[in-house]
Structure 1
Amino acid sequence: MPTVHPVATPPAPGDPSRPAVGAATALLDAYRPGDHFLATPTRTLLADGVRAAVAPGDAPLPERVRAALAGAAHDGDLWPVVLGAIPFDPEEPAALVVPERVRSGPPLRTDPLVALEPAAAAPAGWEVAAVPEPEVYAKGVAAAVERMRRGEFGKVVLARSLELLSPGPLDLPSMLQRLARRDPDGYTFALPTGPGRTLLGASPELLVSRRGNRFTANPLAGSTPRSADLAEDVLRAATLLRSEKDLHEHGVVVDAVRAAMAPYCSELHVPERPTLVRTATMWHLSTTVTGVPADPDASALDVACALHPTPAVCGTPTGIARRVIRQTEPFDRGFFTGMVGWQDASGDGEWVVTIRCAEAEGRRLRLFAGAGVVGTSDPEAETAETAAKFRTFLQAVGAEL
């Protein structure tokens, strides 16, 4: 059965060799709109109520989170934890709370019941509008490529969105079920971000975690769509591993992660070459970076804020890439390409890059997808990549481009 906190010690992350049948999926089944749900490869969390919100202020966000956790501990919470979302623009307010109650279970991937197929998405008669239209997005990519070829900057991540309108109420629990069961090895979330608003998604990318005396980051950059044909799928994966364009894009991100983590680590290990990770819809180049904290008080969020935004979601140099994003994208990213996660009073936690996601409000869903653009990018290929990334959420709601 799931564990209900407060408790004297944090929840065990679970033993993959001895799956607790039904413990994780019970939390998934119990989710209701307004709850905080987060499933990671180490645990499944379901929280309700608000003991304290992390309020805006002049102090850095990690300090405000520490204060909120300390206050909850002082009030008798034996395992206070912060859960929620942080926007792409770190100057904008975060949606972070210390919940009244946290139920904790093992990872979804260790629960055999996660393999059961969820109910298929019923036809909803969605109205779908692209913002911007694919042709306009491709022109924005082409303009950015031309500027990079003139030497103005090195990389920018450009996004587009889809606005979906349903004829009836949104069934958020069913959407979450389909997202979680399709990619149980990833990071699935459903988090309130404001009155009547929910951020849902299934991200493949860990920004950074801390567990005891170890930091771990897993930057992803360089992608290609999966294929239903096995031979073609393997070929695409092998081609991605040899792609000069994608290897360059990935290397830029890994170098930035190394530079941001180095001040926080007494030891840092960065593999020389990337490997591959896969989701249900995409192949990604992946590098797992690990480090030993130089300061035992440095939290997962301290390092996450130093990393955010990485070139994987923004570009390089960061300041110029931000300006290009503002000039090109006809919408506010909000929490897209921010981070979602949890952290406890010891500083342990997991912060995840907010991609493959949507914002739900009323009868509307707003989906997001982006692509890394470098000097050798092809506008049509980058547009196709964003279309492939939309598939994660479109399949969860039964909609099509």
Structure 2
Amino acid sequence: AAPEAAGWSVRPVPEPAAYGAAVAAAVARMRRGEFSKVVLARTLELTSPDDLDLPAMVQRLARRDPRGYTFAVPAGAGRTLLGASPELLVSRRGGQLVANPLAGSTPRSADLAEDVRRAAALLESEKDLHEHAVVVDAVRAALAPYCASLHVPERPTLVRTAAMWHLSTTVTGELAERDGRTASALELACALHPTPAVCGTPTALAREVIGDLEPFDRGLYTGMVGWEDASGDGEWVVTIRCAEAERRTLRLFAGAGVVAASTPEAETAETGAKFQTFLHAVGVDQ
């Protein structure tokens, strides 16, 4: 059932104007040649007058995006991390691996013709194709040492969630044996993390920029969540489209990849659209 209006109070951290200023500052540094990409995030802090119904939220997340990866895991000290990630970091089945980096996004539209137009425009967007290529190149470089063969398509395709269109590349590979064994799913995930899709490039400098410009601690956001069995098979996804729940409070996270062609208005709008995944699950109309 649709969630009842709960009288949520909503507080953005940072305010949208401050987030836009951070994007502008990052773009200025990129245009000076300091780095090529950074992912900047913002949060919404939601407070409910009633206790949170987490099982109902998880059900709504799963039903709204049935092809996504819905999760709820303990986050320590009475907190729960829950969300519906569209992005597979890596999976391993026997000697085969699959990674599905996403980068480059545009909001969906309720109007079918406009929705199709936005999807087509995303496939031709130089800014988004560049952002996506940076991530795919990093995934290729991280996985190549573990593989006997690796297949990376030349151009991305599209995947959709209820809220967003994303550029997507499905990378497949055959693992190589080293010292009589192949890398486990968790080893592969650790080799990939953090990708430029959640951090930036070069990685170390992008992390410094995030620390300078984001006025909050990401916590488990943009980490990875998943499983692995005793044989080393498993599946790990990027911890995005998520929130941290504690008592009557939800802290929502959303980020956007910022490159030299980015604008504060576009990235603020993109993060706003990404919040919709969770806002729909809790019945907040914003």
Give the alignment's TM-score, normalised by structure 1: 0.70
Alignment partners' CA distance in 1, 2:144 and 2:162: 33
Is 2:200 aligned against 1:315? yes
1:156 to 38, 41, 44: 38
1:298 to 146, 171, 183: 183
Alignment partners' CA distance in 1, 2:61 and 2:23: 29
1:331 to 212, 216, 224: 216
Q: Tell me by how many angstroms 1:195 deviates.
A: 2.6
Q: Tell me by how many angstroms 1:196 deviates.
A: 1.1
Q: Tell me by how many angstroms 1:257 deviates.
A: 0.1
Q: Which residue of 1 aligns with 2:253?
A: 368
Q: Tell me by how many angstroms 1:212 deviates.
A: 1.1
SS at match of 1:277: strand
Q: Tell me by how many angstroms 1:213 deviates.
A: 1.5
Q: 1:1-400 maps to which residues of 2 (within 5 A)?
A: 119-295=1-177, 296-400=181-285
SS at match of 1:250: helix
Alignment partners' CA distance in 1, 2:68 and 2:96: 20
SS at match of 1:304: helix
Q: Which residue of 2 aligns with 1:107?
A: none
SS at match of 1:305: helix
Q: Tell me by how many angstroms 1:400 deviates.
A: 3.0
State, as a whole percentage, how many aligned pairs show the same letter: 78
SS at match of 2:280: helix
SS at match of 1:180: helix
Q: Tell me by how many angstroms 1:393 deviates.
A: 0.1
Q: Tell me by how many angstroms 1:339 deviates.
A: 0.4
Alignment partners' CA distance in 1, 2:261 and 2:6: 40
Number of residue pairs aligned between Structure 1 and Structure 2 = 283
Gap runs ≥5 in structure 2: none
Give the alignment's TM-score, normalised by structure 2: 0.98
Alignment-mate amino acid for residue 135 of structure 2: V
Q: Tell me by how many angstroms 1:193 deviates.
A: 1.2
Alignment partners' CA distance in 1, 2:225 and 2:53: 22
SS at match of 2:38: strand
2:95–2:182 contact (8 Å) kept in structure 1: no
Alignment partners' CA distance in 1, 2:78 and 2:137: 39
Alignment deviations for residues 29-65 of structure 1 (CA, whole Å, 9 cap, x no partner) = xxxxxxxxxxxxxxxxxxxxxxxxxxxxxxxxxxxxx
Alignment-mate amino acid for residue 342 of structure 1: W
Alignment partners' CA distance in 2, 1:140 and 1:273: 31
- Which structure has the greater CA radius of gyration? 1
Alignment partners' CA distance in 2, 1:387 and 1:186: 19
Gap runs ≥5 in structure 1: 1-118
Alignment partners' CA distance in 2, 1:289 and 1:308: 16
